[in-house]
Amino acid sequence: MNTQTNRQKQALATKQKIFSCAISLFARQSYENVTVQDICAEADVSVGAFYHHFKSKENILDEGYRLFDHESEDVWNNGHPDSPREAVRFLIAEQAHSMENMGVMAALQYFKNQLSSSEKYILNPDRFFYRTLYRIIDEAVASGILAGDAAVITEDILGTTRGLIYDWCLHEGSYVLSEKSLRILDILLDHYQKK
């Protein structure tokens, strides 16, 4: 078992504090208007400490995707539904709740980052969220619950949910994203349900 030293724990706590403070600032202001110095002041750390943990302000957003996948994996490992349909709903609800908890302004910054980034982490099929969703869909197709190509169904679900998050941002969070995401997901799953 790997145990962290006090120094490693402190470094991780500092990194998490910088990340949380940055996301909090991004949720209240436009990403473009937040400086590294603003983040450091909010987190009560030096600029040197910031650059020890993050290469740039943009790197914070990249870290957010990895953190989302890590948190999703933890939630998944702590218990999830056995039914393929409910397991898919569970994952998509986790995605929507994560965006709701982050807030519209911060969610918008993530999308803007991915549109201009050369590394489209959100599209990476090796990330936990994608792999797990694909595995569930693949098993549902193999067992005859769903009809179609698992990769196509997975991409349809992810494309639809990304579109809903974008729409939610356009509407400035005026509706409950998780409720609408699950309602639209059910329509999509009904479409692919084996007749």
Express each pLDDT in 96-155 by its tens digit: 998 898 888 878 877 777 777 777 777 788 889 999 999 999 999 999 999 999 999 999
Contact 34, 25 (CB under 8 A): yes
pTM score: 0.79
Nearest to 45 by CA among 24, 19, 73: 19
**Span 50-68, mean pLDDT?**
83
pLDDT one-digit tens code per residue, 23-54: 888 878 877 888 999 999 999 999 999 999 88
HSE-CB for 9 with a 13 A CA cutoff: 5
| pLDDT at res. 58 | 80
Rounded distance between C-alpha atoms, residue 33 and residue 42, angstroms: 14
Q: Is the pLDDT at 181 greater than 90, yes or no?
A: yes
| pLDDT at res. 4 | 66
Nearest to 61 by CA among 102, 6, 1, 93: 102
Look up tokens 């911060």; give the residue.
Answer: 106
pLDDT one-digit tens code per residue, 166-180: 999 999 999 999 999
